């Protein structure tokens, strides 16, 4: 069950980042780089997705360990 929860969370987060990129690209094509610059760099979306991935893995590991300790 945790795997499904993690996948759904990660997919939704990635979709959010893709929608954010598409809106900036479609509606403000001449301001792409200015918009990306306000986000902290051109790799901001990838960094955000990686951090979401790490957070989901840490959460899954924590829940697994808590359940395992409780069942002992």
SS (H, E, C) the chain: CHHHHHHHHHHHHHHHHHHHHHHHHHHCHHHHHHHHHHCCCCCHHHHHHHHHHHHHHHHHHHHHHHHHHHCC
pLDDT at residue 11, rounded to an integer? 80
What is the value of pTM for the model shown? 0.58
The domain locations on the chain are: 2-70
pLDDT at residue 69, rounded to an integer? 92
Percent of the chain past pLDDT 90, that is, above it, reads 3
pLDDT at residue 5, rounded to an integer? 72
Q: What is the pLDDT of residues 26-60, one digit of tens each?
A: 887 777 666 665 666 667 777 877 888 888 888 88
The answer to whether 55 and 49 are in contact (CB under 8 A) is no
Q: Across the chain, what does the average pLDDT equal?
A: 77
Reading the block at residue 58, the tokens are: 């840490």
């Amino acid at each position: 069950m945790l795997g499904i929860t993690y996948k759904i969370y990660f997919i939704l987060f990635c979709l959010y980042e893709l929608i954010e990129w598409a809106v900036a690209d479609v509606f403000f094509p001449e301001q792409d780089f200015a918009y990306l610059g306000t986000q902290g760099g051109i790799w901001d979306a990838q960094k955000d997705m990686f951090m979401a991935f790490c957070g989901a893995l840490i959460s899954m590991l924590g829940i697994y360990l808590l359940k395992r300790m409780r069942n002992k």
